[in-house]
Structure 1
Amino acid sequence: MTPAPSNDARTARPSTPARRLILGSTSPYRRELLSRLAVPFDVVSPEVDETPRIGEAPAQLARRLALAKARAVATNFPQAVVIGSDQVADLNGLSLGKPGNHERAVVQLRQMRGQTVIFQTAVAVVCMQSGFEEVDLAAVKVRFRKLGDDEIENYLRAEQPYDCAGSAKSEGLGIALLESINNDDPTALVGLPLMRTCRMLRAAGITLLSLPGATP
């Protein structure tokens, strides 16, 4: 007589392999933010032309580039869940990206002093195999102080934020440049809106807040 299967055998289900998670960005700021979620991920640089299109609004530019970055990486890793992100500083409809050097950073901060700037931070999540694709945008309103030229110069020499859209690191000394910040996700201004990212990752099948060693 064949013994009856144990209770464990009757209730056990085949596990679904966890999907690989890839951050399609080499930004150290986005890497640090994503690491807060305590899920393993790899980093792959997306090869995307970030040149704005004629007449393209800052929010449209951020959304397009975030999705383009995620798609570019997902094409090479179709089974993975890929995150793409982009940030554009919106000064009265003018797109301000990464300055790249000291001279352009000076120009940007002079343009923004005393102004309200909207930092448009987009995030996209793509999985080619499952057909999942979503993009969302977090808008952060930032009011800059009426900065003197000496303050701008001293700040840039101290922090050198030439790889940041809008030439300011709010998580660092750049907070001294600002009068106010108005947003619904404190991580968006740094470069990756984690609340939106978490929602999209869950929808794409990435398990968050799981116990170590637990099966998704």
Structure 2
Amino acid sequence: MSQIILASTSKYRRSLVSRLNLKFACVAPGTDEYALPDEAPTGTAIRLAESKACSIAKRYPEAVVIGADQVADLEGKPINKPVSHDRAVAQLLLQSGKLVKFHSAIAIAQMDSSGELRWKSCINTTDVHFKDLNESQIQAYLAAEKPYDCAGSFKVEGLGISLFEAVKTTDPTSLVGLPLIDLCKLLRHFKIDVI
């Protein structure tokens, strides 16, 4: 089996891929994560996932490289990781009572022995309907989980689930940042079966 590399240093993505019982290494892709002018959120997510996978695949010939990116959008406008408490409060107040779409893209790339780079990618969109939230609920949640490194200012795998009215998705792991059902499908194109 080819070496597998996750083009990420995210502890969340590492934890997700670990669930598949695959032996893999993590390598930081060094990709500048920004949206291009007038780029749709889905386009940004796919472009960044492909960029991460392809840049590492060029450095590790014959390795199967997994790249991932997630872009959240509220009414077509991207929502970034909040980084600070005040930004997280503002994000959650803005998302209160609204539908936010989380676009999770994955790409797998491999450079073969002849130097030809090939890749496949896909995107999975999860619809999150937020409850009507007041500031005291938001403050209590942020004090409990401090999700400042998470798009949308929540951790769905923890108490963040209590912020939602409903979630609609075809892959429950997509909201964490790497849709494992889609990953398993893409890995088969590179002759890797999880089971």
Q: TM exceeds 0.5?
A: yes
* Residue 166, structure 1, aligned to residue 189, structure 2: no
1:119 to 83, 102, 107: 102
- Secondary structure at the residue paired with 2:176? coil
Matched residue type, 1:100:
V
How far apart are residue 75 of structure 1 and its match? 1.6
Q: C-alpha displacement at 1:125, in angstroms? A: 0.4
Structure 1: unaligned runs, 5 residues or longer: 1-17, 210-216
Q: 2:183 aligns with which of 165, 184, 197?
A: 197
Match of 1:110 in 2: 93
Q: Residue in 2 aligned with 1:9?
A: none
Q: Which letter does structure 1 place at the counterpart of 2:122?
A: D
Can you list the C-alpha shifts for 1:114-172, whole angstroms capped at 9, x where unaligned? 00111000000000116430110000000000100111111111101111111111110
Q: Superposed, which structure 2 residues align to 1:127-166 within 5 Å?
A: 127-129=110-112, 131-166=117-152
Contact preservation (8 Å) 1:126, 1:132: yes
Structure 1, residues 63-107: CA drift from partner, whole Å, max 9, x if none? Answer: 111111111211211210000001111101001121111121111
Correspondence 1:1-216 to 2 at 5 A: 18-129=1-112, 131-209=117-195
Amino-acid identity (%): 47
The answer as to whether partners of 1:99 and 1:164 remain within 8 angstroms in 2 is: yes
Kindly provide the amino acid, as one letter, of the partner of residue 156 in structure 1.
L
What CA distance in whole angstroms lies between the structure 2 residues aligned with 1:25 and 1:201?
17
Structure 2 gaps of 5+ residues are none
Relative to the length of structure 1, the TM-score reads 0.86
Task: For residue 43 of structure 1, report the CA deviation from its aligned partner.
Answer: 0.5
CA distance, structure 1, for counterparts of residue 167 and residue 193 of structure 2:
31
Is contact 1:62-1:120 (8 Å) kept?
yes
Which piece of structure 1 moves more, 98-107 or 35-44? 98-107
**TM-score, length-normalised on structure 2?**
0.95
Q: Is the 8 A contact 1:132 1:204 kept in 2?
A: no
Instruction: Give the SS at the match of 2:175.
Output: coil
